[in-house]
Amino acid sequence: MSYDCRVRMARRLLWIPVVLHLALCGIVGYQQEGLDFGKMYFATRDGKLYALNPASTEVRVEGRVVHHRNLNPPQMFLLVEPLAAWPIEVAWPVWVSLQVLVSAMLVRWVFLRRFGSGSPPAP
Amino acid sequence: MSATVLLGQWGALLAWPVTAFWWLGRSGRWFAAGLWLGFAISLKLFLAPLSGWCLLRRDARVAVLGSLLGATAAVALGAAVYGPFAYLEWINQLRSVSWYWGVTNASVWGWIARTWSPSPYFTAVAHLPISWVYGLSIALSTIVGVISLLRAQHVDVDQAVALLVIASLWCSPLGWIYYGWLALPPVLWLWLDGRLPPLLVLAGAVLLLWSPLPIFGWLSVRGVQTGWWSFTLGSAYFWGLTAFLLAAYYARPTNGVSRGNAPVSSAEEVSNPLGGARKSLIHLGALQ
């Protein structure tokens, strides 16, 4: 196996822990009512934008309870409205997939603008 | 990306209006750029310093008008759907924030809160009076904000937008790391141009990549409960963002000719197809 071939294979293998890590994050987020997305989702679904909801979390600091509340402005919830019609088990993966897709598109857009192709130039 | 997937955050989506502002601005279409900026500011207030930069920049003042219009339109839309009282509720929520110490808060406020005040996850070096914690945070963020604004006056649009977005996050009371996506396009552009100091980029990348690892969470919550941990590696997101702030501040100027107001021309691409990108990629080991 040539050196180039080994380097290419190593680069591809490097993606495995990245994908596994992201999948793990996704599973944890899914099990915890969608965490921050859950706050937005329940707020939109129930029509109570800033009330405590099933995804709200709380911690204690020196005996005082602190609630992590939703801090997004009202117009942001318009983005979540289309998903609020679905159960969170469906809405959450759709939302996260959209974010991953949008992230990849953003990076690809920069490469396209810079090099005229969607990936870094070959050495 | 970990925070985006784990928490379901939307930083990458929000990065598009900021990218539109940057791209339209660098090609001199400041009014349209301002509209996008206003839309982004209406969603995340910490981006407001970018509007201040446009005001200081003589050729970009029309962007301030655009940003006012963009923000007003977005707020009007929200008020039409959810009612104006929803905005009063939102302002009340913002005023009730006290969780600056959050692990993913990469701003100087987060670092100071973790290090000098009580928090559920971190051990403070010492407990300072809350007025000192706020005072120190306000002082540092003001100094860095002003220095960044002054620096942005003398550099091209690419560097200025990268610097100001990172500085805005760094100075914001809640500078969650997943909003780092907002700075990614101009930072990536500078890096591909070979303009960012490689060592700072490497340090920033290592610090940002180490934080989402499970071992980091374990060490922070159950393991290393010391003040110095909170001060140093426990606040890795803060140090990573600081490294990128310095990288954007010290980015090298373009090769004598600022192309801050114009996209790269096709002729330039032909004559220099890789620019500094290949050099940067090689330096960081991305290419052999």
Give the pTM: 0.84
Nearest of B164, B173, B174, B165 to residue B137 by alpha carbon: B173
Q: How many CB atoms lie within 10 A of CB B2?
A: 21
The pLDDT value given to residue B277: 44
Instruction: Please check whether residue B171 is in contact with residue B108, taking contact to mean a CB–CB distance below 8 angstroms.
Output: yes
Instruction: Please check whether residue B194 is in contact with residue B275, taking contact to mean a CB–CB distance below 8 angstroms.
Output: yes
Report chain A residues whose CB lies below 8 A from the CB of B189. 110, 113-114
| Average pLDDT for chain B | 85
A52-66, B65-79, B240-254: lowest mean pLDDT where? A52-66
Query: In this structure, are strands A64-68 and A57-61 parallel, antiparallel, or unpaired?
Result: antiparallel
Interface test with A, best of B90, B101, B172 (most A CBs within 10 A): B90
Q: What is the mean pLDDT of residues B262-275?
A: 41
Q: What is the mean pLDDT of residues B146-167?
A: 96
Is some CB atom of chain A closer than 8 A to the CB atom of B218? no
Q: What is the mean pLDDT of residues A22-32?
A: 63
Q: What is the mean pLDDT of residues B260-280?
A: 42
Is some CB atom of chain A closer than 8 A to the CB atom of B55? no
* Of B287 and A1, the one with more pLDDT: A1
What confidence tens digit (pLDDT) does each residue in B197-223 have?
999 999 998 888 776 665 666 666 666
Model-level ipTM above the cut of 0.95: no
A37-41, B106-110, B187-191, B240-244: lowest mean pLDDT where? A37-41
Cβ contact A36–B16 (<8 Å) = no
Cβ contact A71–B119 (<8 Å) = no
The CA-to-CA distance between both ends of chain B, in Å, stands at 25
3-state DSSP of chain B: CHHHHHHCCCHHHHHHHHHHHHHHHHCCCHHHHHHHHHHHHHHCHHHHHHHHHHHHCHHHHHHHHHHHHHHHHHHHHHHHHHCCHHHHHHHHHHHCCCCCCCCCECCHHHHHHHHHCCCCCCCCCCCCCHHHHHHHHHHHHHHHHHHHHHHHCCCCHHHHHHHHHHHHHHHCCCCEHHHHHHHHHHHHHHHHCCCCCHHHHHHHHHHHHHCCCHHHHHHHHHHCCCHHHHHCHHHHHHHHHHHHHHHHHCCCCCCCCCCCCCCCCHHHHHHCCCCCHHHHHHHCCCCC
The pLDDT value given to residue B96: 84
Residue A67, helix vs strand vs coil:
strand
Instruction: Please check whether residue B86 is in contact with residue B79, taking contact to mean a CB–CB distance below 8 angstroms.
Output: yes
Mind telling me how many Å the CA of A3 is from chain B's nearest CA?
A: 10
Report chain B residues whose CB lies below 8 A from the CB of A77. 78, 82
What confidence tens digit (pLDDT) does each residue in B55-113 have?
999 889 999 999 999 999 999 999 999 999 999 999 998 988 888 888 889 999 999 99
Is some CB atom of chain A closer than 8 A to the CB atom of B269? yes
Is some CB atom of chain A closer than 8 A to the CB atom of B286? yes
Q: What percent of chain B has pLDDT over 70?
A: 82
Mind telling me how many Å the CA of B38 is from chain A's nearest CA?
A: 13
Nearest of B64, B57, B50 to residue B148 by alpha carbon: B50
- Residue B287 binned pLDDT confidence (cut-offs 50, 70, 90): very low
Question: What is the rounded CA–CA span in Å between residue B240 and residue B22?
Answer: 23
Nearest of B182, B192, B253, B146 to residue B22 by alpha carbon: B182
Question: What is the rounded CA–CA span in Å between residue B37 and residue B43?
Answer: 10
